[in-house]
Amino acid sequence: MSTMTFLMLAATFLPLLGALGLLAVPKENRRAFEVGAVAITIVSFLMSVPFWFDALGMAGEMHKVQWAWAVDWIPSMGVKFSVGMDGISLILWLLTTFLGPIGAACSWGNIDERHKEYYVWLLVLQTSMLGVFIVQDMFVFYVFWEIMLVPMYFLIGIWGGPQKLYAAIKLFLYTLGGSVLMLVAILAIYFLQHTATGTYDFSIASFQAMASTIAQQSHTFQILIALAFFVGFAIKVPMFPFHTWLPDAHVQAPTAGSVILAGILLKMGTYGFLRFMLPIVPNATKELLPWFVALSIIGIIYGALVAMIQKDMKKLVAYSSVSHLGLCMLGMFAFNPNAMKGALFQMVNHGISTPGLFLAVSVVYERRHTRMIADYGGLSKTMPVYATIFMIMTMSSIGLPGLNGFIGEFAILAGTFQTWPWAAVLATTGIILGAAYMLWMYQRVMFGPINAVNAEMADLNTREILVFAPLVVAAFWLGLYPKPLMTLLEAPVAKLVEQVSPGYHAAARLAEVQAKAAATGMRGMEAPPEAHGAAAGEGHAVAAPEGHAAPAAGAKAPEHGGH
Amino acid sequence: MTPLWLIPVLPLLGSAFNGFFGKRAGKGVVSAVAVGTVALSFILSLVAFFAMQGAAGHRLEATYYEWMATGGLSVPFGLVVDPLSGTMMLVITGIGALIHLYSVGYMHEDEGYARFFCYLNLFVFFMLMLVMGSSLPLLFVGWEGVGLCSYLLIGFYFETDYAPAAGLKAFLFNRVGDLGVAIGMMALFGMFGTLTVSGILTQAGHLSPEAGWGLLTFATLMLFVGATGKSAQIPLYLWLPDAMAGPTPVSALIHAATMVTSGIYLICRLAPLFSLTPHTLTVIAWVGGATALFAATIGLVQRDIKKVLAYSTVSQLGYMFLGLGSAGYAAGFFHVFTHAWFKALLFLGAGSVIHAMHHEQDLFRMGGLKSKLPITFVTMLLATIAIMGFPPFSGFFSKDEILYLAYLKNPALWAIGVLGACCTSFYMWRLMALAFWGEPRDHHAFEHAHESPWTMTAPLAVLAVGAVFAGFWGIPKAFGGSFAIEGFLAPALTFGQSHGAHAGHHEGPAWLLAGISTTLGIASGAFGWWMYKDGLAKGEALGAKLPGLHVVLLNKYFVDEAVEAYLLRPVRWFGNLMWKLVDVILIDGIGVNLPGALTRVAGDFTALFQTGRVRNYALTMGLGALLLLYVFLK
């Protein structure tokens, strides 16, 4: 095991070890749990930072699983405890370690009972989420995927709001239902693999290698596998119409629960699509694509419309997630590098801006114990620092250029436009509505005359500013200098696109060469006299658009692209 | 070479300083930082401007790093100074510095002094990014950034109800336009595979004009949608009059001189592309012409001095688009340039009046201020003469060139333009007469009125010089001039291609057209002045004679009400319906909770048998045994 692999495992399991350590502390020591949880997650984050630089150093290789290591677990079933990350896992893993300390630190102000259990569950949750992103074995993946649900269930069920049990059970049943469907798909492929190769192997790579075998199975089989994966992951994302657990869970969850739910848990769904559904059943996915695109579009617009009329701030932000994740899914289903990279970028963005918004809601909730928009107004007057940070998070969420949200949205829309122009145009409606509901909420909460109760509210304290600070820095950094993250995504996305549409890149390269040839012809034509130039110009005018249209054509009809 | 990046970064630093430390630093430091950074930027812009004129192809370009890079899309972070952006830079930093100075006086007593300058400096930064950005995405950063600053500054008096609402309205209307720009960019990226301005224009040079409604026309139309948002044209003009809720210097800088002209700038920037799409140009010309007349008619009856000027701005922007649509990019841009002087001056003058009258904006409560505010009066008078198009003041040359080109495109457009110009003359002279002539209608405010401090009057004087003389930069060829501005802008507008700028066929009765429009303008101005110079009586009598028209104009054609009734209310209603019907009833009710409830009912029902009492079990067992006996023995 290399040092980096050890570090990866250490960063992943440190929260769990820390949780075990905290179990030994008597439960009266509230401060010990608070400080302990923050310290443990910060150390875990610091341990994860070197991976960013290591990965940037070998960005061209990030489509492969790096820092890999494996040990047999249940040999008779082909189960290995194998770990490692490619570029896609890495960024989500880093997002998780990044949000860990924020989740722990924001809990200081709103958890008033049973501190020991709370922070222990929070740390267990952290390890289970980190585990999902590093494992390279289907079986172990499923174990982590399910374990994750337990701490979340308790976080909402014990420390949640008035309807916490309804919300917790709903969350549990929904996601469990999705997981079981996913399990059925996994087992079907597992046994198919045994029939085809005679071996039992749970490794994700071997599952992805099954794509060609699956493509030879019956049409119904392929569609059923695709649908099982789709429903399983769509619930987690959540896509319309599987989304109604989300507003309930968010509204009832304690702040850290909302932060982690929005920041990481929802990304599990999108991660599942990228890791399993698209590479394993590309043909069936493509066949069902119009439906998926339609659901994404409905999610974008529907989520935005419903968010607009919410009176509860948390519910509004929750519905905005439905809308934003719809955009992510649309980018993913566009099946070209720009849109897919945009979708991944947008996952990270959503993991920054939405937790920021939930934190912003919790700040006023902790002071006034209400989340109703109508109870506030004019807070800018007494809380200028809060007003500024809330504004930055709002702008990040609605995609103001210069902040992170814009880069992802733009890449998604530009990429989608190449494949599904009308879908891209429809998606922009959601972006207009997004500005409308966010700024309308901001206006009603922060502007206008202030009443006597709210005039007493204190501005952010140092701890709160420190909790927001990393999110604000990340929002600016990704908005102003998105290149490193985009570079990391380059190779894995290229591989993914190739898995989904074999021959895509060859076709794109061909188009590029053609375009270049056309451009060279153009340059030569500047010298000759008017008449000749005009005649040649017409010919090239036709040639150039053809050359650029080729990538899109390649995406739609990959079998024409040469291998 | 001048470090170009310093030009936008200086105001950004000023903004950051005032944002973080402004409250503690005190008003003196805040003013010095705010005015100083913009003034320094102006000096650097001047240096860059002259360096640019000596540079090859009249173009300075600096690329700093690769900003966005995904697959085929690579966007450098680069800045460009060419005749087009250079002129805009001088306007932004020059007039910007004057307005900053003016604000020192105007905002002196405001609690949010530091916050105001923080936003205003930030605006200058984004506006400079907009004009200097070498690629469309970078331009878009500035484009949305100025929208943000506009939002913040319109809602500056955030403790009121109306100001934040106006800010939100501005942001959302702009957002609609911004998405037009975004879609246009995507379409251009799809066609050209690049988003740098030079890359697009180089490739566009090899295309022939698009006869039908193709992709290129779609792209340019989408960009024009963006322009209608930012530059307040029909149908997205509704936000600008409301935007007057912001402090008056903001109205002068953002909503008159600079930001609202960025739509024209965008089209000029991509002029060779628009020349390829004649259909788009026709649409632009008609939208511009319609807006010019439509907004001017609303301006005829407004009572709020700033609202009159706001509708005037919408109308003047319409003229600029009319010029662009008639393929007169230089003419349209020329009007941007002259308008920046006289409209900024009019707004600052109005601010001076409002300041003197203790925040009274109602023209019907002013009157007779001529003697009390001599500097404000004289400078505003000069601006009024400039905007009505009286030769040889600046507005005459630019407006006349536009009307002339409109005539060449379609005489009907010319007629609309002249009609609008008559309205312009009328409402401007009405405004002047109501504010400065006649008897004071609010004696208390009149008694206390006083001329503004030098920080406010000095900018008025400087702007007045521009309002009078700026037109000499482009004396049209028909009047023996050389239309120098066209030659100056040519490197940017044509981008080395033949069909970029207006071809310059000057045929048609130029003198006659100018004579008609000027005569009619003077007549309407005189009429407006005569109607209102002695008070409100004559105006009210006229309004009573045309009650229908008066009500429609007074209520701005009821467009706001229609938008509320036919767009906003249905959207909210639909959102509510979706939530209640789909989420609460269908998905959660029937899809989730009903199966849950059925399970529970079924469980409760079967639980009835699990009573735990032996006698119940014995009874059921007995009954069951009897039943079996019956079945078998039968």
The pLDDT averaged over each successive group of 10 residues in chain B (634 residues) is: 84 92 88 93 92 85 80 81 91 92 87 91 94 91 91 90 90 90 87 87 82 84 93 90 90 89 92 89 94 92 91 93 90 91 91 87 86 90 91 87 89 92 93 89 83 87 90 80 81 68 59 88 91 84 85 86 86 86 84 85 86 86 92 86
- Determine, for residues B155 and A413 on separate chains, whether the beta-carbon distance falls below 8 Å: no
Report yes or no: A547 and A514 within 8 Å, Cβ to Cβ: yes
**Same structural domain for residues B597 and B504?**
no
Say if CB A381 and CB A426 are below 8 A apart: no
Q: pLDDT tens digits for B12-32?
A: 999 999 988 888 888 889 999
Q: Which residues of A touch B151 (CB under 8 A)?
A: 439
Among A306, A402, A515, beta carbon nearest to B575: A306
Give tens-digit pLDDT for A407-454: 899 889 888 888 888 888 889 888 889 999 999 999 999 998 888 888
Cβ contact, residue pair B183, A428, below 8 Å: yes
Note whether B520 and B544 are same-domain residues. yes
Mean pLDDT across the stretch A163-179?
Answer: 89
The answer to whether residue B219 sits within a structural domain is: yes
> A527 pLDDT band (50/70/90 cuts)?
very low
Contacts of A447 in chain B (CB under 8 A): 155, 158-159, 163-164
Contact present, B459 and B104 (Cβ < 8 Å): no
Confidence of residue A521 (pLDDT cuts 50, 70, 90): low
Interface contact B72-A435, CB threshold 8 A: no
Contact B208 A522 (CB under 8 A): no
State the smallest CA–CA distance between residue A403 and chain B in angstroms. 9
Cβ neighbours of A401 in B, within 8 Å: 137, 140-141, 143-145
Among the partner-chain residues A431, A486, A551, the one whose CB lies closest to the CB of B70 is A486
pLDDT at residue B557 in the model? 86
Binary contact (A486, B206; C-beta < 8 A): no
DSSP code string of B175-237: HHHHHHHHHHHHHHHHHHS--BHHHHHHHHTTSPPP-SS-HHHHHHHHHHHHHHHHTT-TTST
Nearest by CB to B575, from A309, A424, A446: name it: A309
Closest CA to B267 of B306, B209, B325: B325
The encoded tokens of residue B114 equal 């530091």
How many angstroms separate the CA atoms of A238 and A345, rounded?
A: 18
Is B438 part of any domain? yes
C-beta atoms of B160 and A481 within 8 A: no
Distance CA B343, CA B419 (A): 20
- Report residue A551's pLDDT band, with 50, 70 and 90 as the boundaries: very low
Confirm or reject contact between A166 and chain B (CB < 8 A): no
Query: In this complex, how many residue pairs, one in chain A and one in chain B, have their CB atoms less than 8 Å apart?
Result: 165
Q: Report the distance separating Cα B465 and Cα B397, nearest Å.
A: 16
Distance of alpha carbon A221 from alpha carbon A243, whole angstroms: 27
Chain B residues lying within 8 Å of A538, measured CB to CB: 208
Best residue of A169, A235, A309 to probe chain B, by most B CBs closer than 10 Å: A309
Q: What is the pLDDT of residues A275-305, one digit of tens each?
A: 898 999 988 888 899 999 999 999 999 999 9
How close is the nearest chain A Cα to the Cα of B159, in Å? 4
Residue B143 lies in a domain: no
Nearest by CB to B168, from A170, A342, A439: name it.
A439
In a domain, B336, yes or no: yes
Q: Report the residue of chain B nearest A337, measured CA to CA.
A: B71
Of the partner residues A400, A411, A482, the one whose CB lies closest to the CB of residue B148: A400
The answer on B171 and B123 residing in a single domain is no
Which of the residues A169, A447, A498 would you substitute to probe the B interface, choosing the one with the greatest number of B C-beta atoms within 10 Å?
A447
pLDDT value, residue A474: 94
Please give the residue of chain A at the shortest CA–CA distance from B571: A305
B185 shares a domain with B283:
yes
CB contact under 8 A, B576 and A381: no
What is this model's ipTM? 0.86
Taking CB atoms and an 8 Å limit, are B67 and A481 in contact across chains?
yes
Record: contact A302-B175, CB cut-off 8 A: no
Residue A400, chain B, CB below 8 Å: the answer is yes
Cα→Cα distances A93→A130, A133, A409, B313, B595, Å: 6, 6, 22, 53, 37
Please identify which residue in the block is written with the tokens 């698009």: B210
Tell me which DSSP letter residue A64 carries.
S
Q: What is the pLDDT of residues A309-338, one digit of tens each?
A: 999 999 999 999 999 999 999 999 988 888
Nearest residue of A to residue B582 by CA position?
Answer: A241
Domain-terminating residue out of B505, B531, B554: B554
Please report whether residue B39 resides in a domain. Answer: yes
Chain A residues with CB-CB distance to B168 below 8 A = 439-440, 443
B187 and B110 in a common domain: no
CA dist list (Å): A194 to A190, A206, A221, A226: 6, 11, 16, 20
Count of all residues that appear for chain A in the document:
563
Residue B38: give the domain boundaries: 1-134
Tell me the pLDDT tens digit for each residue of A451-494. Answer: 888 888 888 899 999 999 999 999 999 988 888 898 899 889 98
pLDDT given at position A550: 39
**First vs last C-alpha separation in chain B:** 113
A449 touching B, CB under 8 A? yes
**More confident position, A513 or B337:** B337
Per the document, the length of chain B is 634
The bridge status of strand A66-74 relative to strand A79-85 is antiparallel
Same domain as B530, residue B487: yes
Q: Within the 515-534 window of chain A, which residues sit less than 8 Å (CB to CB) from chain B?
A: 515, 519, 522, 525
Of A305, A336, A482, the CB nearest to B574: A305
Residues B60 and B188 in one domain: no
Asked whether residue B220 is domain-assigned, the answer is yes
SS3 B43: helix
Examine the domain organization and report whether B174 and B221 are in the same domain.
yes
Q: Report the distance separating Cα A358 and Cα B430, nearest Å.
A: 53
Domain count, chain B: 3
Q: What is the dihedral angle through the alpha carbons of B264, B269, B273, B276, rounded to the nearest 10 degrees?
A: 50
Cβ-Cβ contacts under 8 Å, A512 against chain B: 72
Q: What is the pLDDT of residue B281?
A: 92
For residue B1, the model assigns a pLDDT of 55
> Does B171 share its domain with B56?
no
In a domain, B155, yes or no: no
Question: Is the minimum CB–CB distance between A413 and chain B shorter than 8 Å?
Answer: yes
pTM of the shown model: 0.88
What is the predicted pLDDT for the residue at A140?
Answer: 93
Q: How far apart are CA A486 and CA B526, in angstroms?
A: 64
Are B601 and B492 within one domain? no
Containing A69, the helix (H) or strand (E) segment is strand A66-74
Is the domain of B536 the same as that of B599? Answer: no
Q: CB distance B161–A338 less than 8 Å?
A: no
DSSP-based three-state secondary structure for B439: coil
| Separation in Å, CA of B504 to nearest CA in chain A | 20
Predicted confidence (pLDDT) per residue in A338-353, tens digit: 899 999 999 999 999 9
Out of B163, B182, B215, closest to residue A410 by CB = B182
Q: Which of B554, B574, B602 is the last residue of a domain?
A: B554
Of B70, B192, B583, the CB nearest to A411: B70
Residues of A in contact with B144 (CB under 8 A): 400-402, 406
d(CA B373, CA B435): 10
Domain termination residue (choose one: B554, B580, B603): B554
Q: Does residue B39 sit in the same domain as residue B114?
A: yes
Contacts of B203 in chain A (CB under 8 A): 519, 522, 544
Measured between CA atoms, how close is A325 to chain B, in angstroms? 17
Q: Is residue B154 part of a domain?
A: no
Q: Which of A173, A175, A305, A403 to mutate to test the interface with B (most CBs of B within 10 A)?
A: A305
Query: Of the candidates B392, B385, B384, B318, which has an alpha carbon nearest to the alpha carbon of residue B350?
Result: B384
Residue type, B138: L
A58 touches chain B (CB under 8 A): no
